[in-house]
């Protein structure tokens, strides 16, 4: 399966945090239920395989990516989020686009950024851009549970569908995927 699953979700939250303000929706758990390639076929610029696993309340990430270009801020995103209300998807609830994926990953998931830099044999201190090459990461624990502050009150609790294009130099589409996500009130540790 050649899909970008977690990285777009990470930079969706980081970008929302940086571009929107307002009352926080409160603590939330973020559940990535499913991800799939867009229905139309698209040549892939990046060979990418990923596995996302839920175990003992943690989300583990395993992935390999062969990138023919530097992992830089020239990598961007286009996102169209739909919400589900009364069994029907409401499209265009929230739309955004931007660049800067390298720094977004670095600021939102520093441990992941360092693992990527080490895998690409980058020199310390690790900064953007990272060199081209093969990234290989196993059993990385993704922290997705702090979505409330990241979302800044912009998205409601409930079912979301995010259509995400990842681009290089704002024109070349690297990948296109659809993500189905639940944002639910965070369960207290006392309630299990």
CA distance 182 to 147: 11
Q: Which domains does the chain have, with CATH numbers?
A: 6-184 (2.70.220)
- At residue 17, the pLDDT reads 47
Distances (CA, A) of 47 to 1, 70, 129, 136, 154: 10, 14, 19, 12, 33
- At residue 26, the pLDDT reads 60
Residue-wise pLDDT for 156-179, tens only, equals 788 989 888 888 887 777 777 788
- At residue 188, the pLDDT reads 64
Residues in the chain predicted with pLDDT less than 50, given as ranges, are 1-5, 15-24, 145-152
Q: Indicate the helix (H) or strand (E) that contains 78.
A: strand 75-85
- At residue 20, the pLDDT reads 42
Q: Three-state SS for 117?
A: helix
Model-level pTM?
0.68
CA distance 68 to 108: 24
CA distance 29 to 141: 15
Q: Which two tokens stand for residue 55?
A: 């175990």
């Amino acid at each position: 399966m050649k899909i970008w699953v977690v990285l777009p979700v990470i930079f969706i939250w980081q970008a929302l945090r940086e571009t929107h303000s307002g009352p926080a929706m409160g603590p939330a758990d973020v559940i990535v239920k499913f991800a799939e390639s867009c229905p139309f076929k698209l040549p892939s610029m990046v060979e990418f395989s990923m596995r996302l696993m839920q175990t003992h309340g943690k989300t583990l990430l395993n992935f390999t990516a062969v990138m023919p270009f530097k992992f830089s801020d020239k990598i961007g995103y286009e996102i169209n989020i739909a919400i589900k209300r009364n069994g029907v998807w409401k499209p265009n609830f929230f739309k955004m686009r931007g660049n800067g994926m390298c720094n977004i990953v670095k600021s939102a998931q520093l441990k992941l950024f360092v693992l990527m830099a080490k895998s690409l044999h980058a020199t310390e201190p690790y900064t953007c851009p990272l060199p081209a090459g093969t990234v290989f990461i196993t059993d990385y624990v993704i922290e997705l549970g702090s979505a409330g502050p990241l979302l800044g009150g912009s998205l409601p609790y409930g079912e979301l569908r995010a259509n995400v294009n990842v681009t290089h130099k704002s024109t070349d589409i690297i990948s296109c995927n659809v993500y189905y996500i639940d944002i639910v009130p965070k369960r207290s540790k006392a309630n299990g």
